Structure 1
Amino acid sequence: MIQADTLTLVQLAQLRDKWTDKFTWEALAITGLRVAGALFVTLLLYWALRLVLRRVERALGDPTPGVLSAQTQRARTLLSLLRSMGMVLVAILGVFMVLGSLGVNLGPLLAGAGVLGLAVSFGAQSLVKDIISGLFILFENQFGVGDVIRIEGVSGTVEKMTLRVVVLRDVHGVLHIVPNGEIKKVSNLTRTWARVVLDVGVGYREDPDRVIGVLRDLGRELYEDPQWKPLLLDPVEVPGIEAFGESAITVRVMAKTLPLKQWDVARELRRRIKYRFDREEIEIPFPHQTVTWAEPPVVSAVVPAGGGDHAADGVPGART
């Protein structure tokens, strides 16, 4: 019993000496320098990452929508993803360097982190799904920053992409955040080129050949206009009559444009069509409604002669 107590006291003394050696001013100073070095390296990596990303972004030029090439647009998309991923990696590396400077054994910690990550992955399946879907969107180049897309009824300009979400800004300025895992079908409205499709209605009494000729002449003027020609990839097309409506003949007009410029060209086409049709006296039909007011018929009661009480009972308002 006395020997066991003596052994315990010796172990406590050794433990005390060990911790006393670690908490000397010299040891604390060395540990502080190591932690400061780890933090300095982390900040240096963060600064280097921001510097590289800024230089790449500056080299890409002004991100004006509609004038970016496909390569430049893809580079901006990758730049956005690299920024988010780079920040996370630098933060994780900084944490491990600080823990290593404090003397923490990182082997068991990494093993525990792996087990913890596996457990979290089972509980956060939607997050894993978003990240995997984001990787496929990136590798397949389905869309990029600056594209106008439609996702499950929500459309807008892609402002930001990460491995988890896509950020859209619609025409009303509303910001939509869509998780990548929720994207089942995406429609890209501005990939490589776009098209204007206008269905113009004219009255049945108008000459179709004359209307088609006027529209083709108008499209030729638009294509030769120095202000609008840079936005058009091909001459304006007028295929002909598209449909017969209840009160109008529908003639289709099409124009192939640069991405994001189809709406500007469509507005200009509508403006020119309205002015030209007014000048050519071509009717653009619109719904008419005729309202007729009718007076209710006047009903007079006739009391036969000698009707007596029976007549008075049968005719309302008759005198008895």
Structure 2
Amino acid sequence: MLVHHLPSVRTDSPSPSPDLTPQDLSDPQSWWDWFLGVPLQIAVTVVIASIVLLALRVSVHRVTERIASGGQEATPPGSPLQRANPLATHRRAQRARTLGSVLGSTATIVVGTITLLMVLADLGANIAPLIASAGVVGVALGFGAQSLVKDFLSGTFMLLEDQYGVGDTVDFGTVRGTVEDVALRVTKVRDGSGTLWYLRNGDIVRVGNETQEFSVAVVPVVVDPAADLDAARAAVERAVDSVQEDPVLGAALLEPAVVVPGVALTADGITLQVRVRTRPAMQWDVQRAVRLAARDELAHADVKLVSA
């Protein structure tokens, strides 16, 4: 008689689940033993996570506030830097606090997610499928939301580098206008015709800021080629002096204006050019005032203007 010895099959017993309730509800010692188990582990996890989150948010707040207020003590009032860019402090504060809000929200999401997984593990839940599912969902979102991630990253770097801000006149290549709102994903721009454009930050490949830190007013004045150039230059200089003496426009000038004669010469006329550095977004007002004053002064000097 043949006896076949079958190999014994070992069955692993599942790991015991934690006690979620006291074994004896009427025994105080049973309540105490129960509390020292899962509830205490969960409480310690939540307390440590709260302390970590609080420390992260406090650190982010201190760093962003230091960046927002940085440089005010080192830059004396009325210095050339402040006169050239009076909104620098406000823009720096706005940029720093926006990034601080993003970092604080990111820290809350990360710490909260880790804490939730640790609490579920303490309760005996199998978090391996959750982590695996999160990985799959993360990969799917990574492929499906590439443009969204690109927009947010571009917006973050745009804020860090202070490429433009609300109120700036910016040329984006296809759109030129005044920035009305800046977010991490979309920038809103109002053009000269009143159209409000929504530009995704990830699609912006070039930025020409016409009103950052300072602007330059450039006014070409074309006179008759047979005109007295010295008289024409003196007339333009008088026009510039009148603009510089204006209480409003004079305060917008950051340096004395320069009149350069003979910038261009054609059979139709000779060009004198006025150049002056102004406060941000004030170059257009200065240009209009210089043109009008130059027209009047040239007329008084009997110097004929011609078209460019």
Contact between 2:164 and 2:170, CA under 8 Å: does it hold in 1?
Answer: no
What's the secondary structure of 2:225's corresponding residue? coil
- The alignment status of 1:214 with 2:235, answered yes or no, reads yes
Structure 2, unmatched stretches of 5+, are: 1-61, 70-84
Counterpart check, 1:79 vs 2:103: no
Residue 258 of structure 1: how far off its partner (Å): 0.6
In structure 1, what is the Cα distance between the partners aligned to 2:132 and 2:148?
22
- 2-structure distance, mates of 1:128, 1:198: 44
Kindly tell me: are residues 169 and 120 of structure 1, through their superposed partners in 2, closer, same or farther at Cα, counting changes over 3 Å? same
Preserved contact between residue 129 and residue 181 of structure 1 (Cα < 8 Å): yes
Whether the aligned pair in 1 keeps the contact of 2:152 and 2:185 (CA below 8 Å) is yes
Kindly provide the amino acid, as one letter, of the partner of residue 178 in structure 2: T
Match for residue 200 of structure 1?
Answer: 221
Residue deviations 1:30-80 (CA, integer Å, cap 9, x gap) = xxxxxxxxxxxxxxxxxxxxxx9xx99xx9xxxxxx7412x3212213434
How far apart, CA to CA, are the structure 2 residues paired with 1:175 and 1:91?
33
**Residues 176 and 97 of structure 1: is their aligned pair in 2 closer, same or farther, counting only changes over 3 Å?**
farther
Rounded to whole Å, the distance in 2 between the matches of 1:135 and 1:249 is 48
1:145 maps to 2:172: no
CA distance in 2, matches of 1:183, 1:145: 15
Where do 1:74-153 residues align within 5 Å?
74-82=92-100, 108-139=129-160, 141-146=161-166, 147-153=168-174
Q: Which residue of 2 aligns with 1:254?
A: 275
Residue 87 of structure 2 corresponds to: 68
How many positions carry a matched residue from both structures? 265
Residue matched to 2:178? 157
| Pair 177,83 (structure 1): closer, same or farther in 2 beyond 3 Å | farther
Gapped runs of 5+ residues in structure 1?
A: 1-51, 60-65, 288-320
Secondary structure in 2 matching 1:215: helix
Deviates more, 1:174-183 or 1:227-236: 174-183
- Note closer, same or farther for the CA distance 1:158–1:87 as it changes in structure 2 (3 Å cut): farther
Distance 1:160 1:105 in 2: 46
For the pair 1:238 / 2:259, whether they are aligned, the reply is: yes
Higher relative contact order (CA 8 A, sep 6+): 2
TM-score of the aligned structures, taking structure 1 as reference length: 0.61
Q: CA deviation at 1:253?
A: 0.8
Q: 1:210 offset after TM fit, Å?
A: 1.1
Once the 2 structures are TM-superposed, how far is the Cα of residue 168 of structure 1 from its aligned partner? 1.8
Output the CA distance in 2 between the equivalents of 1:88 and 1:217.
59
In the alignment, the residues of structure 2 paired with residue 98 and residue 175 of structure 1 have an alpha-carbon distance, to the nearest angstrom, of: 43
Q: CA deviation at 1:90?
A: 6.4
Q: Secondary structure of 1:144's partner?
A: coil
TM-score (norm 2): 0.63
Residue 221 of structure 1 aligns with an amino acid whose one-letter code is S
- Kindly indicate whether the alpha-carbon contact (under 8 Å) linking 2:169 and 2:211 is maintained by their aligned counterparts in 1: yes
The letter of the residue matching 1:237 is V
CA contact (8 A) 2:215 2:279 kept: yes
Aligned mates of 1:85, 1:108 — CA distance in 2: 29
CA distance 1:91–1:168, change in 2 (3 Å): farther
Q: Which has the larger radius of gyration?
A: 1
Deviations 1:244-297 (A, max 9, x none): 23422111111100111111111111121222222223211249xxxxxxxxxx
Call closer, same or farther: CA 1:243–1:93 in 2, change over 3 Å.
same
Q: Distance in 2 between matches of 1:86 and 1:156?
A: 32
1:128 and 1:91, CA in 2 relative to 1: closer, same or farther beyond 3 A? closer
| Root mean square deviation of aligned Cα | 4.8
